[in-house]
Structure 1
Amino acid sequence: MTTDFSTSPFSGEQQQRLSQLLAELRTDQIYWLAGYLSAYCATPSERGAVPSAPEQTTSKPELTILFGSQTGNAEGIAEQLAAQANDQGIVAKVVDLADYKPKQIKQEQWLALVTSTHGEGEPPDNTLDFHEYVMGKKAPKLDSLKFSVLALGDSSYEFFCETGKQLDQRFSELGGTAITERVDCDVDYEELAEQWISKLLHTISEQSGSSGPTVSGLSSSAATATESTYNRKNPFKATVLTNQLLNGRGSSKEVRHIEFSLEGSGLHYKPGDALAVCPENPPELVSELIRALGFDPNGRVNLADDEHSLQDALTHYREITLLTPPLLKQWAELADSDELCALVSDTAELRRWSEGRDLLDLIRQWPAQKLTAQQLVDSLRKLPPRLYSISSSQAADEDEVHITVAAVRYSSHGRDRAGVASTWLADRLEEGAEVPVYIDSNKTFALPDNDETPVIMIGPGTGVAPFRAFMQEREERDATGDNWLLFGDRSFRSDFLYQTEWLKWRESGLLSKLDVAFSRDQQEKRYVQHCLVEQGADVWAWLNRGAAIYVCGDADKMAPDVHQTLLSIVSEHGNMTAEQAEDFLRQMNRDKRYQRDVY
């Protein structure tokens, strides 16, 4: 937005500073500032008088909100908390833990922490330094700290909400006072997060003696007035434009390129963001479940005060393909089974039994004789959206969004299984079908602001998706920075995803360097980390030129293997110890030059 200062009373330097500030502000911050200035200017009693600062009858509590996030959910909640806090007269600031100086915590009085857990109980990348400091021997006493923790996680993982649990306990050990109990949220977190925010703000106001807001103006809800009305609570029904198989003949995989129309949605995204797809459960599995339970598919059940048929509830609103520890614990009581109770108490054995099984397996092995349809749906968590890295740039396709989807199919325990969203997209959605979607922003996985910065993109399999978006974006922006892709899959002939586009970009010079690894095309398995080792000297040279590294794909094996390979490269070519190499990559992460989107 360009501002006309031709008739303003500001000096040139003031104009420059004001323009810079406005360019940095979010929409909600601009609306808040407008409301503040309106009240500020209304203070003088005499016309034309220079306004003085509003009188402060009582000091307002200052709340620091820290977030640790791998995908952006924690950041979104932190900003929601800040907006509501400011509406209630609590001075709140949101800080990314990557930008927070850990020693500052001893100066805090009111603190809210919102953090997810990454992988198997690990802190998110932007939380590593803070976590290490607080959990370590150098952590200070926090006797003056009043805090509250909201932990995000996925109950299907063994270390559910582990990072939040650890930091909550550690704050107390260091002398801090929990002003509200920690709340642990599953993938369906909105309702619990809203309750936590409400209780936290009420407690702070009560304990601090805050008298509420001192300025009038637009509330935080007005901040979204100019933004799209489509979000997680209200997804947009996007039309399928293209559903195309990417693999060649003879491939053992099924990867599809799917394009959706966003026309009329007002949705905006950037390379690195994800498209959230709200899927449907397989109709065959839903019908089989209802038959096994002996229920009427048209029987009525209540979901959040809305009435649905059982068939509709299990198809669109409830998770039935994944067994979580909370569900199994609840089912042990419903089935009144000592055997299942014993299994639930053994974490390792429960994990082993649950692998590759679903709700149908559970009810067949341990039927609940007196179960009602309402009890069934009440015991199941909501069907969560599935996130797919966006493989297009909106600068190139303004009204479209593309994703790259690998259809998941396998057999286990005597039954054929299928991924809920991937096979729904692959098998049951033809061109013209409508799919509920919204944009899931990811500020921790984004292109450099400087178009001259070289980038190294490591993305095997469907992990290549965001890098197609990166290349489209850099092409549209006429970016001059070098681009290097390292891609891997099973076979060159059938699994080189988007091959034509990569070769076109290499021929044009936009793609400066391309290295590939196809694991099944030779006797010895070959992966992207082998390419990295072979190109170690070049990797180090690019890093010395300020290159940013991006890794996308499998979190269980690929990402750790790539990380170890990068450590070896830095150690060998940078002449560093293992500890120095780890510090080097940690600093790259702080500088947002080493970013990962792994799942």
Structure 2
Amino acid sequence: MSSPLMPWPLSPELLQDLAKVMTPTGVADYAALTLLSMAAGTYLSRGILWDQPDPYHYRWYERPQLKMGGLAGANGSKETRNIAHKLDEVDKNIVVFWGSQSGTAEGFASRLAREIALRFRQGTMTADLSDYDPETISQIPQSKLAIFILSTYGEGDPSDNTAEFWDWINKAQDVSLANVRYCAFGLGNSNYKFYNRVVDIVVQGLDRRGAQSLMPVGKANDAEGSTQEDFIGWKDDLFAVFKEQLGFEEGEMQYLPTLAVQEHESLEPIDLHHGEPDTPDGSKPSAQCSPVRPVTIANARELFEASDRHCLHLDLDLSSVPEFSYKTGDHLAIWPSNPDAEVERLLQVLGLAARRDVSISIRSLDSATKVRVATPTTAAALFRYYLEIGAPVNRDNVLGLASFAPTPEAKTYLLQLGQDKAAYANFINRTHVNLGRLLQLAAPETAWPALPLSYLVETLAPIQPRYYSISSSSVIAPRKPSITAIVSTTPVPENPEELVHGITSNYLLALSENRRDATHPHGLTYHLNGPSNALQGGKVFAHLRKSKFKLPRVGSSPLIMVAAGTGLAPFRAFIAERRQLQQIGREIGEMILFFGCRRPEEDYTYRDELAELQAALGDRLRIVTAFSRQPDTPRKYVQDRITECGDAVLRLLDEGANLYICGRAGMAREVEKTVGQAMQQAKGWSDSQWNDWSRAFKKRGKWQEDVWG
């Protein structure tokens, strides 16, 4: 049989003729052969003798802030990843490790480290768990102390920056931590099934390897709104351990800055950070997140019929951001700005209004302390784009502010408020005051010139992006993801005419209204063009985050989807994608959607669209609704409707359905309880049998949740 590259045999005569033709006969032939040989040699030596990979090519993709404040030290040298060596380098006795998804645990770590240093004069540093090799924790000497502040989110998951440490503490063999003394505090929400699972597992791993715990594990419960007070209570217990067990002497609390904020009028605008976001989820890159880029809002529309409540559907256009791509089920993060009124309030009360645009640089006074905001910048940019100035002031900070009070009356007011836990809780619940408003209440007609900007940068949390489930299918709209955002406005109990405005949702509402030349319904204004007009033309700073909340690969798999409120968003995408599969002749599985809201005529989002999809999909889609505030009708929630449709739910699960829940964590907990009761009753299972089944079901990715709060 002839070779596939030579479809017919060559005769000897033909070969002789070819040899004659191909034999060089003159100078031109030899020159041509020489050139061909040189070209071939050059091509074959590519990557060896020439066109070698640029060893510094990666620097095109590095962020400058990493060189200034991330993995590089102050002198430009690479930071050590050995935490024991780091403690020796910076001469610290205590390290506060943090694992944080939304920034709360990181903020607590910074607060704790600062207070330990001020109150007990102990050298203390914070440490992002992803900055250090976890095995080096075993080298921390017994003379030093490790503190862990760890958040739990989702289905008992560790934060992104805890992933490497999490793997190590769960899998490392033959590791002794006998010389490690530690304390631990966890952040969680009891509405989730795996409440504070991360800190529990970490503590078990530490204890199993011989580490010595100095006190019981502390836990915060966000479901009760007590996270701040839970932390303060645990911190007080920790300080008691310091005094009674470790013999630390407590001194008078005097503010000693860890940061220096200096004006530099010589800096040019091009040298400054005017408000552009740094990076998602901290200072380091993440495989889960895209870069932050300006993204155009292509379309915006109102979904609610009620005039006093707002829910937005926003379509974004990725045409100008070629590096962005998403998959159905992913999240899109919006970076907000603070409203003009709150920025002006803070500038006025601090006496900085006239110098709002003067250049300032922020540098660390301690080699172990990182600057968490962009620098150099201006006071106006700091308050508008980089710090969370709209959040309620925690009780620790109320007491801290007292030392800078401009009048004796203001100092007394703050001390009385901060020292009385019950009075403070009552005050915050009645007023929801943020920093600017609190300073005005304490000293109504007086500025606060003694309150240093460094204190605010140290104590206020950096502004965080808000994540939204993408409500479009990447198969249908690969370059136009959409999000669904309910606008948060809460009346102040003490003054119902005054509203507490959710930062990001009201920023998006202002953008939406501006598109049709209208104003925000409550008069809020923002710098919608963004820093240096980077957002001109209706853009937002955004980035994409990968999610595990995905459709099964097999389109014929049945789906059970449970949503309340804006939890409907990803299911709009799921159903639309299944419809697309059907249209190209693919077999699709049976689907049932449970959806709950207040009233059908008020907040049943995407109602007409879902009706069209249901008509097109026929018996492949069933929609079951639950309305909690329907007049003259008993309240119904999605878990009630699941009970009523229990036979259908169990049948689909037996047929291999995937179950998805999206919405508030409390709802998800009730849904799981309802499904569990139905399964136990139908199959005669015990609690342990149900728990074993659900655990295995979730491990296989058949039960997925995208929940919050």
TM score, norm. by length of structure 2: 0.54
Report if the CA contact (8 A) 2:186-2:199 is conserved: no
Question: What is the 5 A alignment of 1:327-342?
Answer: 327-328=397-398, 330-331=400-401, 334=404
For each residue in 1:92-151, what CA deviation from the matched residue of structure 2 results, as whole angstroms up to 9, or x when unmatched? xxxxxxxxxxxxxxxxxxxxx9974138xx833999xxxxxx9xxxx9998635699999
The corresponding residue for 2:93 is: none
How far the C-alpha of 1:392 sits from its partner, in A, is 0.6
Where structure 1 has 5 or more consecutive residues not aligned to the other structure, the ranges are 1-5, 8-33, 35-60, 62-67, 75-79, 91-112, 128-133, 185-227
For each residue in 1:287-306, what CA deviation from the matched residue of structure 2 results, as whole angstroms up to 9, or x when unmatched? 12222333223344435562
Note the aligned Cα RMSD (angstroms). 4.7
Of 639, 647, 661, 1:537 maps to 647
Q: Matches of 2:436 and 2:313 in 1, distance apart?
A: 31
Q: Secondary structure at the match of 2:297?
A: strand
Going from structure 1 to structure 2, the CA distance change for 1:399 and 1:329 (only over 3 Å counts) comes to farther
Aligned AA for 2:541? P
1:255 lines up with 2:316 in the alignment: no
1:526 lines up with 2:526 in the alignment: no
1:359 lines up with 2:419 in the alignment: no
Q: Matches of 1:332 and 1:400 in 2, distance apart?
A: 50
Q: Matches of 2:100 and 2:457 in 1, distance apart?
A: 30
1:466 lines up with 2:466 in the alignment: no
How far the C-alpha of 1:409 sits from its partner, in A, is 1.1
Going from structure 1 to structure 2, the CA distance change for 1:340 and 1:163 (only over 3 Å counts) comes to farther
Going from structure 1 to structure 2, the CA distance change for 1:140 and 1:447 (only over 3 Å counts) comes to closer
Q: Matches of 1:398 and 1:158 in 2, distance apart?
A: 34
Q: Matches of 2:384 and 2:629 in 1, distance apart?
A: 38
Q: Matches of 1:402 and 1:416 in 2, distance apart?
A: 28
Question: What is the 5 A alignment of 1:31-42?
Answer: none
Report if the CA contact (8 A) 2:576-2:613 is conserved: no
Report if the CA contact (8 A) 2:560-2:657 is conserved: yes
The corresponding residue for 2:246 is: none
For each residue in 1:263-287, what CA deviation from the matched residue of structure 2 results, as whole angstroms up to 9, or x when unmatched? 1322111122110000011111211
Going from structure 1 to structure 2, the CA distance change for 1:307 and 1:232 (only over 3 Å counts) comes to farther
Aligned AA for 1:236? R
Q: Secondary structure at the match of 2:152?
A: coil
The corresponding residue for 1:398 is: 478
Q: Secondary structure at the match of 2:471?
A: coil
Of 139, 143, 157, 1:124 maps to 157
Q: Secondary structure at the match of 2:295?
A: strand
For each residue in 1:308-353, what CA deviation from the matched residue of structure 2 results, as whole angstroms up to 9, or x when unmatched? 2322211111101223646556546655957756766777775565
Of 447, 450, 456, 2:554 maps to 450
Q: Matches of 2:681 and 2:388 in 1, distance apart?
A: 48
The corresponding residue for 2:511 is: 428
Q: Matches of 2:457 and 2:188 in 1, distance apart?
A: 17
1:439 lines up with 2:544 in the alignment: yes
Report if the CA contact (8 A) 1:143-1:176 is conserved: no
1:243 lines up with 2:300 in the alignment: yes
Report if the CA contact (8 A) 2:579-2:617 is conserved: no
Going from structure 1 to structure 2, the CA distance change for 1:293 and 1:153 (only over 3 Å counts) comes to farther
1:407 lines up with 2:487 in the alignment: yes
1:312 lines up with 2:347 in the alignment: no
Q: Matches of 1:418 and 1:299 in 2, distance apart?
A: 29
**Percent of aligned pairs sharing the same letter:** 26
How far the C-alpha of 1:237 sits from its partner, in A, is 0.6
How far the C-alpha of 1:582 sits from its partner, in A, is 3.1
Q: Matches of 1:542 and 1:290 in 2, distance apart?
A: 59
Aligned AA for 2:553? D
Aligned AA for 2:499? D
Q: Matches of 1:146 and 1:308 in 2, distance apart?
A: 44
How far the C-alpha of 1:554 sits from its partner, in A, is 1.3
Going from structure 1 to structure 2, the CA distance change for 1:332 and 1:165 (only over 3 Å counts) comes to farther
Going from structure 1 to structure 2, the CA distance change for 1:229 and 1:396 (only over 3 Å counts) comes to farther
1:547 lines up with 2:657 in the alignment: yes
The corresponding residue for 1:292 is: 349
Going from structure 1 to structure 2, the CA distance change for 1:310 and 1:151 (only over 3 Å counts) comes to farther
The corresponding residue for 1:487 is: 595
**Is the radius of gyration larger for structure 1 or structure 2?**
2
Q: Which shifted more, 562-571 or 311-320?
A: 562-571
Going from structure 1 to structure 2, the CA distance change for 1:240 and 1:151 (only over 3 Å counts) comes to farther
The corresponding residue for 2:235 is: none
Aligned AA for 2:157? P
Aligned AA for 2:205? F
Q: Which shifted more, 333-342 or 312-321?
A: 333-342
Q: Secondary structure at the match of 1:286?
A: helix
Report if the CA contact (8 A) 2:189-2:196 is conserved: no
For each residue in 1:356-377, what CA deviation from the matched residue of structure 2 results, as whole angstroms up to 9, or x when unmatched? 3322343234566620334333
Report if the CA contact (8 A) 1:251-1:495 is conserved: no
1:496 lines up with 2:604 in the alignment: yes
1:378 lines up with 2:465 in the alignment: no
For each residue in 1:193-226, what CA deviation from the matched residue of structure 2 results, as whole angstroms up to 9, or x when unmatched? xxxxxxxxxxxxxxxxxxxxxxxxxxxxxxxxxx
How far the C-alpha of 1:389 sits from its partner, in A, is 0.6
Size of the alignment, in residue pairs? 445
Q: Secondary structure at the match of 2:670?
A: helix
Report if the CA contact (8 A) 1:238-1:437 is conserved: yes
Q: Secondary structure at the match of 1:525?
A: coil
Report if the CA contact (8 A) 2:599-2:629 is conserved: yes
How far the C-alpha of 1:553 sits from its partner, in A, is 0.8
How far the C-alpha of 1:573 sits from its partner, in A, is 2.1
Going from structure 1 to structure 2, the CA distance change for 1:153 and 1:170 (only over 3 Å counts) comes to closer
How far the C-alpha of 1:155 sits from its partner, in A, is 10
Q: Secondary structure at the match of 1:457?
A: strand
Q: Matches of 1:150 and 1:259 in 2, distance apart?
A: 47
Q: Secondary structure at the match of 1:515?
A: strand
The corresponding residue for 1:569 is: 678
Going from structure 1 to structure 2, the CA distance change for 1:578 and 1:497 (only over 3 Å counts) comes to same
The corresponding residue for 1:283 is: 340
Going from structure 1 to structure 2, the CA distance change for 1:580 and 1:146 (only over 3 Å counts) comes to same
Q: Secondary structure at the match of 2:300?
A: strand
Report if the CA contact (8 A) 1:455-1:547 is conserved: yes
The corresponding residue for 1:195 is: none
The corresponding residue for 1:203 is: none
Q: Matches of 1:83 and 1:307 in 2, distance apart?
A: 24
Q: Secondary structure at the match of 2:601?
A: helix
The corresponding residue for 1:200 is: none
1:166 lines up with 2:200 in the alignment: yes
The corresponding residue for 2:614 is: 506
Going from structure 1 to structure 2, the CA distance change for 1:394 and 1:305 (only over 3 Å counts) comes to closer
Going from structure 1 to structure 2, the CA distance change for 1:536 and 1:162 (only over 3 Å counts) comes to closer
Going from structure 1 to structure 2, the CA distance change for 1:338 and 1:231 (only over 3 Å counts) comes to farther
Q: Matches of 2:477 and 2:183 in 1, distance apart?
A: 37
Aligned AA for 1:359? L
Q: Matches of 1:328 and 1:274 in 2, distance apart?
A: 35
How far the C-alpha of 1:552 sits from its partner, in A, is 0.7
How far the C-alpha of 1:410 sits from its partner, in A, is 1.8
Aligned AA for 1:320? I
Question: What is the 5 A alignment of 1:130-149?
Answer: 144-145=175-176
Q: Secondary structure at the match of 1:306?
A: coil
How far the C-alpha of 1:425 sits from its partner, in A, is 0.4
Report if the CA contact (8 A) 1:559-1:598 is conserved: yes
Q: Secondary structure at the match of 2:594?
A: strand
